[in-house]
């Protein structure tokens, strides 16, 4: 398979959406689409799968909750039980109501931070990471669709020109 891609630039999100649908209908492979803002429905038009990041957040929340339960049981009940204000710490269940606020806070803490870290890792975002958008205008008002060249290059270019693009560039895949 050729490693060449064609970058077609659009200046409007609706034109881009129609173009994505046309390109998909003509069964060309869309490598990537770069947009300056979230275009609603684009991921459906491109055929991207739903993200599972919310599920990971739920699991991280469960981890945080379990950690809170384990920590407070270990510190307050098992390791050094004290009689605070006439309320002895000899049973986890009887002391549990006082632990609810921290169980909640730690569940949220774990879910939020670990989910965001997962997002940064999966989307490869971190300090000193080089940006990979093909043109600086894609964070301003331009939309770039990257279509992989599979077969006749000129045919694909003339096909893309009819989809309302304002600029076309042929380049090697990075």
Partner 1 sequence: MSSHYEAPIRKPLIIGDKSYHDITLEVAAPVEGKANKLWWIVFSIALIAFLWGLGSIIYTIGTGIGVWGLNKTVGWAWDITNFVWWVGIGHAGTLISAVLLLFRQKWRMGINRSAEAMTIFSVVQAGLFPVIHMGRVWNAHFVLPIPNQFGTLWTNFNSPLLWDVFAISTYLSVSLVFWWTGLLPDFAMLRDRAVKPFQKKIYGLLSFGWSGRAKDWQRFEEVSLVLAGLATPLVLSVHTIVSFDFATSVIPGWHTTIFPPYFVAGAVFSGFAMVNTLLIIMRKVSNLEAYITKQHIELMNIVIMITGSIVGCAYITELFIAWYSGVEYEQYAFLNRATGPYWWAYLLMMSCNVFSPQFMWSKKLRTSIMFSFIISIVVNIGMWFERFVIIVTSLHRDYLPSSWTMFSPTFVDIGIYVGTIGFFFVLFLLYARTFPVIAQAEVKSILKSSGDNYKRFRDEGGANPAPVVSKVVETKAKEVVEEIKGSSEERTADLMSSLGVFDSAKQTADDLKQISGVGPKLEQTLNSIGIYSFDQVSKMTDNEYNLLDSLLDSFKGRAKRDDWAGQANNLKNNG
Cα 113 versus chain centre, distance: 14
Give min distance, CB of 174 to partner 1, in A. 11
Give min distance, CB of 18 to partner 1, in A. 9
Give min distance, CB of 13 to partner 1, in A. 8
Length of the chain: 174
Taking the CA atoms of the chain, what radius of gyration do you get in angstroms? 26
Q: Give 129 or 158: the residue with its C-beta nearer to partner 1.
A: 129
Alpha carbon dihedral 27, 33, 38, 43, in 10-degree steps, equals 30
Q: Contact at 8 Å (CB) between 169 and 39?
A: no
H helix runs in the chain, sequence order: 13-25, 42-46, 53-72, 92-122, 153-161
Q: Give 35 or 66: the residue with its C-beta nearer to partner 1.
A: 35
Q: Give 80 or 93: the residue with its C-beta nearer to partner 1.
A: 80
Q: Contact at 8 Å (CB) between 140 and 36?
A: yes
Q: Give 43 or 159: the residue with its C-beta nearer to partner 1.
A: 43
Residue 73 region by backbone torsions, left for phi larger than 0, else alpha for psi between -120 and 50, else beta: alpha
Give min distance, CB of 139 to partner 1, in A. 4
Give min distance, CB of 8 to partner 1, in A. 12
Q: Give 37 or 151: the residue with its C-beta nearer to partner 1.
A: 37
Q: What are phi and psi of 128, to 5 degrees?
A: 70, 5
């Amino acid at each position: 398979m050729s490693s060449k891609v064609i970058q077609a630039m659009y200046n409007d999100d609706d034109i881009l959406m129609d173009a994505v649908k046309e390109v998909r209908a003509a069964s060309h492979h869309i490598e990537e689409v770069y947009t300056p803002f979230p275009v609603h429905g684009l991921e459906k038009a491109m055929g991207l799968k739903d993200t599972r990041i919310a599920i990971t957040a739920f699991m991280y929340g469960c981890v945080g909750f379990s950690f809170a339960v384990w920590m407070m049981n270990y510190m307050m009940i098992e390791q050094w039980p004290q009689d605070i204000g006439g309320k002895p710490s000899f049973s986890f269940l009887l002391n549990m109501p006082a632990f609810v606020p921290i169980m909640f806070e730690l569940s949220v803490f774990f879910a939020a931070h670990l989910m965001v870290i997962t997002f940064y890792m999966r989307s490869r975002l971190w300090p000193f990471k080089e940006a990979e958008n093909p043109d600086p205008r894609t964070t301003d008002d331009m939309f770039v669709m990257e279509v992989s060249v599979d077969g006749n290059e000129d045919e694909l270019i003339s096909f893309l020109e009819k989809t309302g693009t304002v600029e076309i560039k042929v380049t090697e895949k990075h």
